Amino acid sequence: MQLLPLTEAIATHVHDGDSVALEGFTHLIPFAAGHEIVRLGRRDLHLIRMTPDLIYDQLIGMGCAARLTFSWGGNPGVGSLHRLRDAVERQWPRPLALSEFTHAELALAYQAGASGMSCGLMPRYGDTDLGRLPGTSLRTVRCPFTERLLTAVPAINPDVTILHAQQIDAEGNVLIRGIVGAAKEAALAARRVLVTVEERVERLRADMNALVLPSWLISAASVVPGGAYPSYAHGYYARDNRFYLAWDEIARDRRAFTAWMERYVLGAPNHAALLRALGVAA
């Protein structure tokens, strides 16, 4: 594990054309890292996330992505991700290829990737159009023991997985507390792992079964207070639900979106400056 400034960590580990998973289910979404990808002008990324959320709405709207693998693409409790919709419905600012799964399938795909399996298996029932999508990678197989029909979901192994976490200790071990989503599986499936953290401490006060990523699994880490804003870091700050509501208006219009990104992301040298400009930090 290397402790690096965020710009250097992203510049070193995220390249044009990479498959990139910024995980964190509603909680601990690595916004600061995503914004740095925008600032560095990365292109043709294959973005992977269960819930694209605002961070991928931003990356897609800024033209960073060529493909999206996802399972639920809305603004939670609010409505649409307008930039994602504009890319799919009107190819703006560029066409976006979709690989679409259910939550259970995508979680299984990460788990398979983390386990060195080529696929994960789950029972197959019912008959939906999701299994008939053009180019679907799902396959139906038969259980060798029970003859039961199973869905095989191909493993996902991102080039790089990026997480936000609460703490890193002196040895570089990382602690995640609260809603964990598929963070651990996405990290263990990846070729490289980047982590941003709220703070550096001498020693993690972690319960025995806590989610700790040992330092030797992590390629690079950066200390970025507020790095999950406007999502949240349990124990540090709450989700800014007002911002999620406000994003609906900002992202609805191409010009308003571009102006927002230019002012707050491209116009800020780093995440602390963005938080100050938004009036969230002093």
Partner 1 sequence: MSGPAYSPDEIMTVTAARQLVNGAVCFVGIGLPSAACNLARMTHAPDLVLIYESGTVGTRPKVLPLSIGDGELAETATCVVPLAEIFAHYLQRGRVDVGFLGAAQIDRYGNLNSTVIGDYAHPTVRLPGGGGAPEIATYAREVLVIMKQTPRSFVPRLDFRTSCGYLEGSGARAASGSPGAGPRAVITDFGVLRPRPGTEELELAALYPGISVDAARAATGWPLRIAAHVEMLPAPGPAELAVLRGLEAATREAHARPIRISLRN
Total interface residues for partner 1 by CB under 8 A: 68
Among 118, 208, 216, 242, binds partner 1 (CB under 8 A): 242
Handedness of CA 230, 64, 197, 7 (dihedral sign): negative
In the bound state with partner 1, the residue whose beta carbon lies nearer, of 8 and 16, is 8
Q: How far is CA 188 from CA 4, 112, 158, 229, 241, in A?
A: 21, 10, 10, 24, 30
The residue assigned the tokens 């799919």 is: 88
Nearest to 164 by CA among 111, 68, 109, 230: 230
Among 5, 76, 93, 267, binds partner 1 (CB under 8 A): 76
- Find out whether 177 and 166 touch, Cβ atoms under 8 Å: yes
Exposure pattern of 114-143 as b/e (b: 16+ CB <10 Å)? beeeebbeeebeeeeeeeeeeeeebeeeee
- Find out whether 244 and 54 touch, Cβ atoms under 8 Å: yes
Instruction: Give me the least distance between CB of 238 and partner 1, in Å please.
Output: 6
Instruction: Give me the least distance between CB of 142 and partner 1, in Å please.
Output: 13
Among 1, 39, 173, 232, binds partner 1 (CB under 8 A): 232
Handedness of CA 104, 105, 110, 111 (dihedral sign): positive
Per CB under 8 A, the segment of 11-19, 37-45, 70-78, 255-263 that binds partner 1 is 70-78
CA separation for the pair 115, 107 (Å, rounded): 12
In the bound state with partner 1, the residue whose beta carbon lies nearer, of 158 and 225, is 225
Q: How far is CA 1 from CA 88, 172, 192, 196, 262, in A?
A: 38, 6, 11, 12, 33
Interface mask toward partner 1 for 149-168; x: CB under 8 A: --------------------
Among 19, 71, 161, 173, binds partner 1 (CB under 8 A): 71
Q: 202-231: which residues touch partner 1 (CB under 8 A)? A: 223, 225-226, 229-230
Per CB under 8 A, the segment of 37-45, 160-168, 238-246, 255-263 that binds partner 1 is 238-246
CA atoms within 13 A on the CB side of 259: 8
CA separation for the pair 13, 24 (Å, rounded): 19
Strand 149-154 relative to strand 65-70, pairing: unpaired
Instruction: Give me the least distance between CB of 229 and partner 1, in Å please.
Output: 6
Among 118, 128, 145, 202, binds partner 1 (CB under 8 A): 128
Q: 243-272: which residues touch partner 1 (CB under 8 A)? A: 243-245, 272
In the bound state with partner 1, the residue whose beta carbon lies nearer, of 15 and 63, is 63
Interface mask toward partner 1 for 7-46; x: CB under 8 A: ------------------xxx-------------------
**Chain contacts with partner 1 (rule: CB under 8 A):** 25-27, 50-51, 70-74, 76-78, 80-81, 84-85, 88-89, 100-104, 107-108, 110-111, 122-123, 125-130, 133-134, 178-182, 184-185, 199, 223, 225-226, 229-230, 232, 234, 236-245, 272, 275, 280-282
